[in-house]
Structure 1
């Protein structure tokens, strides 16, 4: 092709080479021009009929760069960039006045220049050393030279690995590129703003993304899932996405227990996508006491994105809006009491902005909640908050990563003792959330600091503490045992109340414990069903609760919770159901979980006089005992009952995988075992009691028998014969022993 002049001044300001559609179709966006000295240079193409076929139009500075004259023949080929490897993350431009004799002291704001540059030259291709003409507002025209370009390593970013910025010889600008302006050497140009120097930030295509640096641990898989689903389509030019007929993802919902890193991940996503400053708002901040103001607050959040979408269309940059505690404003419509309807109208306004009649394609809404069940379903369909990622409790590897991050600074400064094994701590902290692991590190640090504080009339600090201070393994173990307990961990105190007397081994209990522990082992096995319900039934004082608590405690499950009727005194039926359901929902967040429900009849409010029961609670029991936990979760439910026939009549008995009967003590030898193991009597007294009750019938629960033995503990100064007689009389008075006629 032959070299021609640029047809007009306006076209020369586009910095494109002008071609005729007869030579290159409109699908061709870039061309490679080989200069006389064999240098390949890439330019952006603009089609215009003012240029004759067979000619290519250059402006003056372009002709100077490639050293060509008018009508000179050059080689021009269509060029297709690699969208994965040649997208610009950071573009550094050197600026000066175009007319050196005509300068001004007027400041040029680089932040505004960067936005204007992206608007004027969307999706343009650039090569190193390329000269450009830049008309910024009504100010004097600038001469620009491409000094440096960097691209992100998408593979490294997806895997969470750190990589050095990759230099580019040629790259394509995108709406999220970071533009940096530098003053040319010897120039009188006066630059202001943040974009006049390199900023230590990450963007969508940043190459130095690093989980360790960002303080995110244990969330690698979730981050890669978000990257793949939410940002894959934004990497490619708009025309590529149009050919596939798809739209960008507009919303992400992060949900999970408190303290697992939802807010942290959302903020780091906001930093990673730093093309536009993310707007972070707490859900309750949207609500306003004045009519219509809550809806107006929602509209204001999207106003800037709407204005840019109208002005720049598909080349608009990405606008991120982060909602913390989004459940506060997006409850199920119609669920909030009162006749104001404010909650419903806020939800409607948010729905219309994300995916209404006038759709925005340049927004990403990130919502966070630990109550996904309360949110309106319309908000979670595709096109709205369609990517729903559970930020659950970290596994052992995740806990190791988090602890490594949280102790990194003290390890760097030599304040972490060599006896601290992070892998050991990760294994010991089952069901700890990220926030609780951070609390553990703080507590261990406080324990270490306390050693160098001397308490007396005055509080004094050891002057050599800076040199001697080290956080040891003992500090972490002490904090684990005394200071920090996981909210979704085991209810040790509640379980200990049931087995405060210990488990007394007698005839039938050995078989019961063996069978019970076999079912616990079955519940852990990956080859079995993910739900196992075990019922221990027996008459009052038979010891069913103690045995059930023993099985729950020795299951070694990281999540063990106790549900009793005593903690729900005064609850309404619906409140009781919500309490029980929440316990099951919490259990589903752990890989292995155990729920101990003591005395099912009392939980359902059963009364033998009538009889009557709470039907809503019964329905909840049907649902919760029959439903399986989510995939990858294992649940063991251990229940106790004093009235098997009641559960059978109510239809609850078939819900259980197995039913274990806890009997009363009937044999004299079994009584002997309990008396000997309790150590409340001497051997001679035990022999005397057993000799006495041989001439009759014994029918007693182990709990009842242990309670009667407490009487003997306070009769230490009484004669042996009197103690034995008193105990036998107690057995007879309580009706658990009947002498032969």
Structure 2
């Protein structure tokens, strides 16, 4: 074992490095740390720095180091190279006791522990620290501080490699990393004034903790999304820079969270920033970037990356992680060339953002998290690997996710015994199909408001029951009232529209109707099973007024799918072709966000603007429908499309029939028995009148739609009783529904 002599540090700058200073002739470049033996059972680990001012055979120590290791000048010591054990080498956290180095030279100025922690990591990259070690620390030209290492914890690399929760390990010594959590404590009886979040003892996580408690984070139903983001974006950051450099790993620098409004994108991004032991996240809304002055928008983008650039130049691969969160990123990153006008501001902002994330002088210490409801509007260059490469859809929560969200938002009620015993969160999760997280939160608020309203006395003045706090309980009835009257999901069932079409119920007047309903049940089963794919399409074709829309609505409602939507020409009156295509596409896009969806495309020939005189039709809408009717929904989603038409022949000429997997023929009423079934079901006439109608229509040719027949019955009811039946039969003959001869 080589024998060296202890000496003083050659300069103040080297003293503040808190390294042991050695001669370049004594150690090779690959030696980073040494262990010094000063006696039996007494060994101390130091990070070394090479300097030509130290004589060969000597090791330079500053005063705190000599005090810690009990060293005297010219004392002989045994020195040998040291390497850490891989699984206990890298520190996840370090707790440091601080005091003034010179007790006579103190101040009451505040010391910001957060800034101290950042400075500490920058000053001592990859340095070895041991419990009990003393060192000197100069913080921003303030009074010199004396630091003592109180506690260190290392991350279990083996657990991370095995995909297990990375629980911190208590160790005696380890190497600091860029994302090591640094905590400062004031020494006993010290007058040091510490402020900031890194002050005093507090609960903390390791560098990146994959074992997150989602409910404590206030997020429910996104477990799989969090795990996928961790695997893609953060797993490589657990390992120290030298390992990732050896593997040639480039960290993920961008995440895009997209999905419907209210599903938790912004909340997830904020929690990602706070759960990591990284620099304080920079959070900015996309429109805040834009500025009316030329060049200011691009300058605002550069300002976001300035702290990361400065630290990257100073520390290189040892720089900590800087998180930039861009909400509503579609406002500034629209596809280049898509925005009208000559200024081109949006294009230059996109160019500036691309150059910062993945340009010539690309940064490796950043993570950009973008959020949008409109992924289709974002420039394609931002979505390629190396930029916003992790693209995660934050969709509507499934039933188990809705249970998690309900538990989060009712946690305070349950803790304080304000939730009634009859409230079943699993029942609420079942009925809140297609509710987003924000809508579920709104449901809980609405239920609370209903309960509070019971305790308000509305007399000449508003009074509150003095015993309200003790009496209030949020009951099941409050939640159901909020569900029925207050909160409706944006991507839910269009109940009012569907109920309007089946207001009179479905009259099962014969075999043609039974056959359609049976085929409808088979379509629903096929849509749920989805063995041949996630898309099922069917066309209900028949003469006008035959009840095609009502039958399609009945099939859709009996499916019990959470998403039901009409795509009807009545919603697009006056629309240009492009606007109509966008409206139709939006209906399908909304349907793709639900696990199970039904779309009723009503009156297809009217959607196509078909006219028999000319003839003319919209080829743009036709092509859009052909594409959407053959487009498979995303993986794991099921879509049933029911279309109706009165001109099957026209759709055949337009080669549109091939877009449907099956065609169901809807028939008119054609026999006396079918007519009497309708009249008996509606109880429209007396038994005597029904016998008369039966005799008059027996064995007569008939062809009338159910919708027109219902109109004739209503008209007959308004006629005087003596003329009611003759009026009904004459109108039936006039409308072409009966041949009396």
TM-score, normalised relative to structure 2: 0.93
Alignment-derived partner of residue 289 in structure 1 = 292
Which consecutive residues of structure 1, in runs of 5 or more, have no partner in the other structure? none
Distance 1:709 1:54, change over 3 A: farther
Offset, 1:157: 10
Distance 1:728 1:109, change over 3 A: closer
Which consecutive residues of structure 2, in runs of 5 or more, have no partner in the other structure? none
Report Cα offsets for 1:555-604 as digits up to 9, x if no partner: 11111111100010011100000011111111111111111100100011
Offset, 1:512: 1.3
Distance 1:370 1:583, change over 3 A: same
Distance 1:608 1:201, change over 3 A: farther
Alignment-derived partner of residue 361 in structure 1 = 364
Alignment-derived partner of residue 738 in structure 1 = 739
Offset, 1:527: 2.3
Q: Could you tell me how far apart the structure 2 residues matched to 1:220 and 1:156 are?
A: 20
1:693 to 688, 691, 697: 697
Alignment-derived partner of residue 373 in structure 1 = 376
Report Cα offsets for 1:645-669 as digits up to 9, x if no partner: 1111111101111000001111111
Alignment-derived partner of residue 262 in structure 1 = 265
Tell me the secondary structure at the aligned position of residue 737 of structure 1. Answer: coil
Distance 1:313 1:477, change over 3 A: same
Tell me the secondary structure at the aligned position of residue 562 of structure 1. Answer: strand
2:497 to 474, 494, 509: 494
Offset, 1:53: 7.8
Alignment-derived partner of residue 591 in structure 2 = 587
1:568 to 567, 572, 590: 572
- 1:213 paired to 2:228: no
Alignment-derived partner of residue 401 in structure 2 = 398
2:326 to 323, 330, 333: 323
Counterparts of residues 539-558 of structure 1 (less than 5 Å): 539-558=543-562
Alignment-derived partner of residue 521 in structure 1 = 525
Counterparts of residues 596-611 of structure 1 (less than 5 Å): 596-611=600-615
Alignment-derived partner of residue 8 in structure 1 = 10
Counterparts of residues 381-460 of structure 1 (less than 5 Å): 381-460=384-463
Tell whether the 8 Å contact from 1:327 to 1:375 is kept in structure 2 after alignment.
Answer: yes
Tell me the secondary structure at the aligned position of residue 728 of structure 1. Answer: helix
Alignment-derived partner of residue 703 in structure 1 = 707
Distance 1:207 1:136, change over 3 A: farther
Q: Could you tell me how far apart the structure 1 residues matched to 2:247 and 2:647 are?
A: 64
Q: Could you tell me how far apart the structure 2 residues matched to 1:264 and 1:161 are?
A: 26
Q: Could you tell me how far apart the structure 1 residues matched to 2:162 and 2:406 are?
A: 20
Tell whether the 8 Å contact from 2:5 to 2:77 is kept in structure 1 after alignment.
Answer: no
Q: Could you tell me how far apart the structure 2 residues matched to 1:576 and 1:158 are?
A: 52
Q: Could you tell me how far apart the structure 1 residues matched to 2:425 and 2:165 are?
A: 22
Alignment-derived partner of residue 197 in structure 1 = 200
Offset, 1:429: 1.1
- 1:535 paired to 2:543: no
Alignment length (residue pairs): 736
Distance 1:499 1:208, change over 3 A: closer
Offset, 1:155: 10
Distance 1:156 1:272, change over 3 A: farther
Q: Could you tell me how far apart the structure 1 residues matched to 2:678 and 2:42 are?
A: 97
Distance 1:148 1:388, change over 3 A: same
Alignment-derived partner of residue 639 in structure 1 = 643
Q: Could you tell me how far apart the structure 1 residues matched to 2:464 and 2:560 are?
A: 42
Alignment-derived partner of residue 147 in structure 1 = 150
Alignment-derived partner of residue 728 in structure 1 = 729
Distance 1:608 1:22, change over 3 A: farther
Q: Could you tell me how far apart the structure 2 residues matched to 1:591 and 1:625 are?
A: 18
Deviates more, 1:342-351 or 1:459-468: 459-468
Offset, 1:542: 0.8
Offset, 1:138: 3.7
Tell whether the 8 Å contact from 1:513 to 1:547 is kept in structure 2 after alignment.
Answer: yes
Q: Could you tell me how far apart the structure 1 residues matched to 2:234 and 2:528 are?
A: 38
Q: Could you tell me how far apart the structure 1 residues matched to 2:423 and 2:164 are?
A: 26
Q: Could you tell me how far apart the structure 2 residues matched to 1:159 and 1:602 are?
A: 60
Distance 1:557 1:41, change over 3 A: farther
Offset, 1:725: 1.6
Report Cα offsets for 1:280-317 as digits up to 9, x if no partner: 11111111112211111111212222222222222222
Tell whether the 8 Å contact from 1:201 to 1:272 is kept in structure 2 after alignment.
Answer: no
Q: Could you tell me how far apart the structure 2 residues matched to 1:587 and 1:529 are?
A: 16
